[in-house]
Structure 1
Amino acid sequence: MNASQRIDVHQHIVPPVWAKALNDLGLDSGGWAIPAWSAADAIAMMDEQGIATGVLSVTAPGVHLSNNAPGKGTTTGTTTGTGTATGTGTGRSTDNQRAPQAQTLARAVNEYGAEMAKDHPTRIGSFASVPLPDVDAALEEAAYALDTLGADGVVLMSNTGGRYLGDPAFEPLWAELDRRAAVVFVHPAQPPMPLLPGTPAPVADYVFDTTRTALNMALNGVLSRHRKVKVILSHGGGFLPYAAYRFAGLNATALDTSRTAEDVIHDLKRFYFDTALAASPSSLPSLLAFAEPGHVLYGSDWPFAPQEAGTYYNRFLETYPDFAPGQAEAIDRGNAEALFPRLAQPKA
């Protein structure tokens, strides 16, 4: 398969209303500047990088910006060995606390993405943003985006105000997304701790937070309860593939002896993984050894990762010597076609 047929599941959109909202609050993406974006620039990049279609999403900090505004408190949470999440915090939204600004911003962002997809149906798709931690509003927006706007799936931040995606309060959203057999793209956010000095969150903390939320979901039973939802983890799953057996073995022997290590591994293997910033000689062997067949998808992370970064990681992907027959083509396109049937090419 020609590389120009790639489907990029990790590509971002920067709606003007979202960029303005961040600017007005003095926010960025974990210490990373918000880049300019246009559909024309996105398509030009895709043409140069061998990408046929990008499924676009708004990146961190998402749409619930009050959780990220300067001067807010922090929230911390823990998961017990019995799979029960607990948390305490200050200055953050509580369960279903209404945040009209987040609802309004989510709607504006999603309608902008839908317009871009409507204008460029073969080149642009969209993951809809939802205003967690307000579960009721998230349910409303997910239904509107999927049913009315025709979104290809939903994007969730790895944490919202320090609350991770295995939080029991989020169960109604997971149940609804499972009922719809939805595709969910999990993008990392800045974890509830100070940045590593001099190091923006996308460089180091994002891979940590992806791993953290994935483990939280698995240990709290989200994946075992909801078998139809398909969840894509960004950046090769952080360090989940490398550390999965550490997590599973320690959970089974020291935290929750009612679940075997194999049970936890089974749930962790339900995740899908994108290759954005994660295709390298050291990460690909671990990712491909852990991921189930069909569960690795191409990603670029443009424009937050510049085009030069895409070229750098594409080179590793294109020269990797140990792909099984057909595996490279599946990562470029075939595996994504299974998740997004509307993008599937007609069979010859």
Structure 2
Amino acid sequence: MDGSVKRLEEITFAFDELGADGVALLTHTHGVYLGDQRLDPVFAEPDRRRAAVFLHPTSPVCWEQSALGRPRPMVEYIFDTARTVTDLVMAGVLTRHPNMRVIVPHCGGAIPVLADRINEFMSLFLPSEKSPSLDAVEQLRGLYYDTASTAFPPQVPALLQLVDPDRVLFGSDYCWTPPPLADAHIAAIDAAEPPAQDTTWRSLTTANAKRLFPPTAR
């Protein structure tokens, strides 16, 4: 069975039978990244349902060379996140399916510092007849980003140069991140300067999550 057809069946089952609020997708499957045209039916379904689509990185197909013998999650995951989000942007997936609520992990990986560069290359090298209706920065500003892993001190401030605080969600990366390290990451978030007057990172991300998932908000 074609992979995209199988995924579509699983997505439909998750929503209709299991009551899911969204779906999770890896950054690629056997080297097929998320901007691939074959996956368009997969995105059409959560777009139709106005559902959440949570992305999570995996190792690129060339990790044996690119990781240089070091732990793959250290930088490979971060750049694979940037790779697939860039693919979504350049391929116009986000503008064709504007009702999806896409959540990008790890403060967007390398995306915040690459956003202007991606935008520039898209305008220079993408033919006008294939250019998405929104530029790269506008598309990236419409996504949500979680704080899993080392959100502070440098990552969230960089992210907030790209998106407004109402696009930031809490994430811990537990259970892949050991509990003591996850606790240390949370402590760093609690110690960080509040994102706005009369709020905290906890209250902000809680409010954002309740707005994103109103049926499950408590």
TM-score, with normalisation over the residues of structure 1? 0.58
**Which fold has the larger relative contact order, with Cα–Cα distance below 8 Å and residues 6 or more apart in sequence?**
1
Further displaced range: 191-200 or 171-180: 191-200
Tell me which stretches of 4 or more aligned residues in structure 1 moved more than 3 Å: 259-262, 329-332
Contact 2:90–2:132 under 8 Å retained in 1: no
CA RMSD across the alignment? 1.9
5+ long unaligned stretches in structure 1: 1-95, 98-133
User: What residue in structure 2 maps to residue 336 of structure 1?
Assistant: 209
Identity of aligned residues (%): 37
Give 1:177's match in structure 2, choosing from 46, 69, 74: 46
Q: Tell me what 1:279 maps to.
A: 151
Unaligned runs of 5+ in 2: none
User: Does residue 155 in structure 1 map to residue 27 in structure 2?
Assistant: no
Whether contact under 8 Å (1:223, 1:270) holds in the other structure is no
Structure 1 residues 135 and 333: CA distance shift in structure 2, 3 A: same
**Do the aligned residues in 2 keep the contact of 1:275 with 1:297 (CA within 8 Å)?**
yes
Counterpart-to-counterpart distance in 1, 2:160 and 2:188: 14
CA distance in 2, matches of 1:272, 1:189: 19
The alpha-carbon deviation at position 331 of structure 1 amounts to 3.9
Match of 2:169 among 297, 313, 326: 297
Deviations 1:246-291 (A, max 9, x none): 1101221x31262599722111112111100131111121112212
Change (3 A) 1:316 1:268: same
Q: In structure 2, what is the equivalent of residue 255 of structure 1? A: 125
**Count of residue pairs the alignment pairs up:** 213
Shift in Å at residue 142 of structure 1? 0.7
Quick one: distance in 1 between partners of 2:43 and 2:136? Answer: 19
Q: Take 2:5 and 2:59, find their aligned partners in 1: how far apart are those partners?
A: 24
Contact 1:166-1:216 within 8 A present in 2 as well: yes
Return the alpha-carbon distance in structure 2 between the equivalents of residues 160 and 262 of structure 1.
Answer: 27
AA in 1 matched with 2:29? T
TM-score (normalised: structure 2):
0.91
Matched-pair contact (CA < 8 Å) for 1:273–1:297: yes
Partner SS for 1:150: coil
How far the C-alpha of 1:215 sits from its partner, in A, is 0.4
Q: Distance in 1 between matches of 2:150 and 2:159?
A: 9
Distance 1:262 1:176 in 2: 21
Deviation at 1:293, TM superposition (A): 3.9
Looking at secondary structure, tell me which structure has more helix per residue: 2
Give the direction of change, closer, same or farther, for the CA distance of 1:150–1:262 in structure 2 (3 Å limit). closer
